[in-house]
């Protein structure tokens, strides 16, 4: 029996050949071998009764899975716009030159691979990269030089200096959620004392809405799931914060995970679930060991498992389910598809997850921050929570602040805070624009800095990126546009083709060959995508272009040619070969455009 065969057999030995664990097996194989060997694919196909073609299609769907060997050192540079602003491309060029490898390729000796990846959730401490899943922040030439020495010496990543892997919480402002950590078990005890109905009523009275950005009422979602018929109910914590510029969940999982698990367990008691999952984004693989240890501590303390806090029949446990680098899996139905071992393609709705979610059973899917807020409401009450915020947006919001400011990091504010106040607090000066809610969000110009962070005004999942007057906003737009093209699942034509067309036209603007006609086409394509795309990714993908065209028209108009139309294909340049063959270069051998 080969080493690969033994490894795969061990993976499958305790799972009863469950096909829904395919992605987890693939992640384990990728981490062990730095790719998915063909032998492993064949073994999985035979044991799980899944065709080879389907398994390979899943490998190619997820950015962190590969059919070719990535070597001993798999390096991924974070490429969010904030990393670009901090000089990530110069550092990428430097390490590639020193190691003798091209970006996007594996070195000839097969030992090291380097490529760009989407936002890694370390925007406040960039530039950043991942090496074999471990995060390194605050990159500079000195660190790059030391990394190259370690790689060439063949030092395993786990033996690199510990200081390389220090990722700080970087909390700059605390309020209700981050002020103190509640005593372990207190939210579960509140559930046991108050009872399911009373606690659900308290969460309803608090006005708590989902903190992922959509803002659906938490109590309504939990009540609908509780009342939905099914053989099993599930609780899922969506920790796949892939929106560029967002990193609040990183802090919550690093320092407040006990509160997250309290909220999940309390939710399980209310809806009657015995199983819960944390869907952890692939970029946060380095957080997993500590989370697994904490889950075991809670089992040992009687806060997970059977008869929780001694209450007979209160059975609930939590598993961590890894993502593998797919932004689309932040959408709850795509996340559920991924949990079932499939490609993360969003489902048609209805039915909604509360009635037909994981394994077609009633499922609550909530954001990390939402579970933290729910746990604290259970302990301190609805009135405590409502004392902050606005009438429609109660409580507080965690903002992930990065970009052109003196003090990037995590800021917690009561809902209703103005954008201007946030800018003052984080030390932003001469601000040209604020991008709220990541690539899918909106761009705020200075004349709108009076607006407030609230569901009734500027809702957000948490991203808050700042650009001063020295920045070219088209760099931001281009970065986000390329992000959406890369992250599109390819399922629907409006997103797949529309995004590509938008990218080509935007590049035409940037190089100075666009016309007013092209801008009109960009607007048409963007509006078509918003109306006809299958899911939220496709509907929000044109936002960076459409929003900046409306609010910052000057960044486009100053690059336009003085003609009404220029073809994307340069026919005159294409005739150069013919002119050379015929020996003609007179005016009649050229096509002239009227300006």
* Per-residue model confidence as pLDDT tens digits over 3-24: 999 999 999 887 777 889 999 9
| Confidence tier at 342 by pLDDT (50, 70, 90) | very high
Claim to verify: residue 92 and residue 234 sit in the same structural domain: no
pLDDT of residue 566 exceeding 70, the answer is no
Residues 33 and 117 in one domain: no
pLDDT band at 477, cuts 50/70/90?
very high
Determine, yes or no, domain membership for 563. no
What pLDDT does 582 receive?
81
Q: For residue 564, what pLDDT band results from cuts at 50, 70 and 90?
A: low
Residue 66 lies in a domain: no
Is 576 within a domain? no
Cβ neighbours of 82 (radius 10 Å): 29
Q: Which domain holds residue 236?
A: 176-386
Kindly report the backbone phi and psi dihedral angles of residue 433, in degrees, each rounded to the nearest multiple of 5, phi listed first.
-160, 155
**H or E stretch covering 386:** helix 382-386
Q: 434 φ, ψ to 5°?
A: -125, 130
CA 530 to chain centre: 20
> According to the model, what pLDDT value does residue 379 have?
96
Report if residue 533 sits inside a domain: yes
Bridge partner residues of 77 (DSSP): 116, 129
The verdict on 187 and 141 lying in the same domain is: no
Check pLDDT > 70 for residue 230. Answer: yes
Q: Whole-angstrom Cα distance, residue 416 to residue 425?
A: 15
Residue pLDDT, tens place only, 248-262: 999 999 999 999 999
Specify whether 51 is located in the same domain as 96: no
Q: Is the pLDDT of residue 547 over 90?
A: yes
The pLDDT value given to residue 589: 80
Tokens of 320: 């961590």
Q: How many CA atoms lie within 13 A of 22 on its CB side?
A: 28
Question: Average pLDDT, whole number, for the chain?
Answer: 94
* Residue (of 90, 65, 69) closest to 79 by Cα position: 90
Q: How confident is the model at residue 593 (pLDDT cuts 50, 70, 90)?
A: low
Residue 67 is assigned to a structural domain of this protein? no
pLDDT of res. 128: 98
Name the residue with higher pLDDT: 574 or 513: 513
Residues 329 and 181 both lie in one domain: yes
Kindly state whether residue 567 falls inside one of the protein's structural domains: no
**pLDDT of res. 3:** 93
Q: Say which DSSP state 473 is in.
A: H
Question: pLDDT (tens digit, 9 = 90+) per residue, 418-456?
Answer: 999 999 999 999 999 999 999 999 999 999 999 999 999
Residues 467 and 478 in one domain: no
The first and second tokens of residue 519, run together, are 């801008």
* Neighbour count for residue 31 (Cβ, 10 Å): 14
% of the chain exceeding 90 in pLDDT: 88
Is the pLDDT at 591 greater than 90? The verdict is no
Last residue of a domain, one of 424, 439, 471: 471
**Residue 583 belongs to a domain:** no
395 vs 568, residue with greater confidence: 395
Domain membership flag for residue 68: no
Let me know whether 349 and 376 are in one domain. yes
Residues 372-386, mean pLDDT to the nearest whole number: 96
Q: How confident is the model at residue 565 (pLDDT cuts 50, 70, 90)?
A: low
Domain end (from 436, 471, 506): 471
* 299-311 residue pLDDT tens: 999 999 999 999 9
CATH number at residue 552: 1.20.1440.230
In a shared domain, residues 151 and 247: no
Q: What is the pLDDT of residues 200-227, one digit of tens each?
A: 999 999 999 999 878 899 999 999 999 9
How many Cβ atoms from other residues are within 10 Å of residue 149's Cβ? 11
Residues 216 and 344 in one domain: yes
What pLDDT sits at residue 595? 46
Q: Residue 249: its pLDDT value, please?
A: 96
pLDDT, tens digit, 9 for 90 and up, residues 68-96: 999 999 999 999 999 999 999 999 999 99
Same domain, 217 and 339: yes
- Of 417, 452, 471, the domain-final residue: 471
pLDDT tens, residue by residue, 98-131: 999 999 999 999 999 999 999 999 999 999 999 9
| Same domain assignment for residues 429 and 541 | no
CATH number of domain containing 400: 3.10.20.600
- Same-domain pairing of 251 and 357: yes
Domains in the chain, number: 5
> Which band of pLDDT confidence, cut at 50, 70 and 90, is reported for residue 581?
confident
């Amino acid at each position: 029996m080969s080493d690969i065969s033994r490894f795969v057999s061990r993976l499958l030995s305790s799972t009863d050949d469950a096909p829904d664990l395919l992605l987890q097996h693939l992640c384990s194989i990728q981490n062990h071998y730095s790719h998915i060997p063909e032998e492993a694919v064949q073994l999985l196909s035979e044991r799980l009764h899944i065709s080879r073609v389907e398994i390979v299609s899943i490998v190619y769907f997820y950015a962190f899975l590969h059919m070719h060997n990535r070597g001993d050192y798999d390096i991924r540079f974070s490429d969010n716009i904030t990393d670009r602003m901090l000089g990530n491309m110069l550092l990428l060029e430097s390490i590639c030159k020193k190691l003798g490898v091209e970006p996007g390729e594996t070195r000839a000796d097969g030992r090291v691979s380097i490529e760009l990846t989407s936002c890694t959730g370390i925007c406040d401490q960039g530039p950043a990269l991942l090496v074999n899943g471990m995060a390194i922040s605050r990159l500079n030439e000195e660190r790059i030089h030391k990394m190259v020495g370690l790689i060439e010496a063949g030092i395993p990543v786990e033996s690199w200096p510990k200081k390389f892997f220090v990722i700080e919480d970087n909390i700059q402002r605390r309020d209700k959620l981050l002020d103190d950590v509640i005593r372990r078990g207190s939210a579960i005890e509140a559930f046991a004392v108050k009872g399911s109905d009373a606690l659900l009523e308290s969460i309803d009275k608090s006005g708590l809405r989902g903190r992922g950005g959509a803002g659906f009422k938490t109590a309504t979602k939990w009540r609908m799931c509780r009342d939905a018929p099914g053989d099993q109910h599930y609780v899922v914590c969506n920790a796949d914060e892939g929106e560029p510029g967002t990193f609040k969940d990183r802090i919550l999982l690093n320092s407040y995970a006990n509160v997250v698990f309290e909220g999940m367990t309390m939710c399980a008691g209310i809806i009657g679930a015995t199983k819960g999952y944390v869907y952890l984004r692939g970029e946060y693989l380095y957080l997993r060991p500590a989370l697994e240890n904490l889950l075991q501590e809670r089992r040992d303390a009687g806060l997970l498992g059977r008869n929780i806090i001694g209450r007979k029949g209160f059975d609930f446990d939590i598993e961590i389910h890894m993502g593998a680098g797919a932004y689309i899996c932040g959408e709850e139905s795509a996340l559920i598809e991924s949990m079932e071992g499939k490609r993360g393609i969003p489902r048609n709705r209805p039915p909604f997850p509360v009635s037909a979610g994981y394994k077609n059973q009633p499922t609550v899917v909530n954001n990390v921050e939402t579970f933290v807020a729910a746990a604290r409401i259970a302990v301190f009450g609805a009135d405590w929570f409502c004392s902050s915020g606005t009438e429609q947006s109660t409580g507080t919001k965690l903002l992930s602040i990065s970009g052109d400011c003196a003090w990037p990091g995590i800021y917690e504010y009561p809902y209703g805070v103005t954008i201007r106040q946030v800018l003052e607090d984080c030390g932003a000066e001469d601000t040209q624009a604020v991008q709220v809610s990541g690539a899918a969000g909106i761009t705020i110009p200075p004349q709108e800095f009076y607006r407030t962070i609230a569901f009734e005004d500027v809702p957000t999942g948490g991203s808050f990126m700042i650009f001063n007057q020295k920045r070219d906003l088209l760099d931001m737009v281009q970065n986000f546009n390329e992000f959406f093209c890369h992250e599109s699942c390819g399922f629907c034509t409006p997103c797949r083709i529309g995004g590509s067309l938008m990218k080509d036209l935007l590049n035409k603007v940037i190089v100075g060959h666009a016309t007013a006609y092209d801008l009109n086409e960009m607007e048409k394509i963007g509006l078509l995508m918003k109306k006809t795309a299958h899911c939220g990714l496709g509907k929000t993908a044109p936002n960076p272009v459409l929003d900046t065209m409306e609010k910052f028209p000057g960044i486009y108009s100053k690059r336009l040619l003085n003609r009404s139309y220029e073809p994307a294909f340069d026919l005159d340049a294409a005739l150069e070969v013919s002119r050379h063959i015929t020996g003609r270069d007179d005016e009649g051998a050229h096509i002239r455009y009227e300006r």
